[in-house]
Amino acid sequence: MAVLSERLVQLQSERKLLKKDIAKAAGVSIMGYYRYETGERKPDSDTLIKLADYFGCSIDYLVGRTERDWLAALEEAEDEYLLALALEREKNSNGVWHSLDDITAELGITQEDIDNTEADFE
């Protein structure tokens, strides 16, 4: 299960997670989790389920049976679909997308407000 060790390290790093939080979610000690990362120990099936749930991925992805995290890919596709739906709802009654000018006018934001805000971040 060398792939498991690599995936645990990768997921922790990508998501900027703490070992203590992952260990707690998995129901193991920090040292126990560290041993999974180094490949010294292999988690039992219950712990694998907890790790997959915590990381939001499949067990197959964790153990290297698939190269792509299909669960995350499905969630990403769902997020894109929901965003498209939300944008569709932003059309005005004529079916025309709101322009930035329309949105700022509705909110009472002037170009001067925008320029001042941008200057604050420089």
pLDDT one-digit tens code per residue, 16-31:
999 999 999 999 999 9
Tell me: do 9 and 21 sit in the same domain.
Answer: yes
Distance between CA atoms of residues 66 and 72, nearest Å:
12
The yes-or-no verdict on residue 7 having pLDDT over 70 is yes
Tell me: do 75 and 63 sit in the same domain.
Answer: no
Q: Considering its fold, how many domains does the chain have in total?
A: 2
Tell me: do 20 and 56 sit in the same domain.
Answer: yes
pTM: 0.59
Tell me: do 97 and 62 sit in the same domain.
Answer: no
Domain boundary among 46, 67, 88: 67
The yes-or-no verdict on residue 38 having pLDDT over 90 is yes
- Overall average pLDDT of the 82-108 stretch: 62
Q: Which long-range contacts (CB under 8 A, 24 or more apart) does 49-53 make?
A: 50/25, 50/26, 51/8, 51/22, 51/25, 51/26, 53/25
- Report pLDDT for 75: 66
The Cβ of residue 4 has, within 10 Å, a number of other Cβ atoms equal to 19
Question: Does residue 110 sit in helix, strand or coil?
Answer: coil
User: Which residues form the domain of 50?
Assistant: 2-67
Provide the CATH number for the domain around residue 57. Answer: 1.10.260.40
